[in-house]
Amino acid sequence: MVYGAALRLDKWLWFARLSKSRGAAQALCESRRLRIDGRVVERASALVRAGAVLSFPHDDEIVVVRVEGLAERRGPYEEARHLYTDLTAAPLDAAAAFAPASNAVQHRALTAASASF
């Protein structure tokens, strides 16, 4: 059994301003697209505690956040932002991912290859 302070997942999503309305948070929880620590959530009444990692789709990306705290009300954005840490990986720049290596790196690679012969 797990002890400690907990809050309903739909309320936490709404309090943390990760959902526009509590109804939208409930729909997300019941869509089976949200995970708590890798476990699929099937109900909005699932409990979330500090330290849990949530992942869910938002637009065209997967949002990953770690719960840092629980709230008693839906406050302004500045307060809500302290309830979680965003762990979402920054999208790679497509041009940088497929760009050729710099000339210095290519020169070092060629020099190392010719020195081994």
Mean pLDDT confidence for 108-114: 54
Residue 55's beta-bridge partner residues? 35, 64
In CATH, what number is assigned to the domain containing residue 53?
Answer: 3.10.290.10
Pairwise CA distance, residues 50 & 46, whole Å: 14
> Does any domain span residue 63?
yes
Predicted pLDDT of residue 74 = 95
**Shortest CA distance to 84 belongs to which of 5, 3, 14?**
14
Please check the confidence at residue 7 and state whether its pLDDT lies above 80: yes
> Does any domain span residue 29?
yes
> Does any domain span residue 94?
no
pLDDT per residue over 46-92, tens digit each? 999 999 999 999 988 999 999 999 999 999 999 999 999 999 886 66
> Does any domain span residue 105?
no
Structure confidence at residue 20 as a pLDDT band (50, 70, 90): very high
Residue 63: which domain range?
Answer: 7-89
> Does any domain span residue 20?
yes
- Select the more confidently predicted residue: 115 or 30: 30
Predicted pLDDT of residue 91 = 64
Predicted pLDDT of residue 89 = 80
Predicted pLDDT of residue 21 = 95
Pairwise CA distance, residues 100 & 96, whole Å: 8
Structure confidence at residue 8 as a pLDDT band (50, 70, 90): very high
Total domain count, the chain: 1
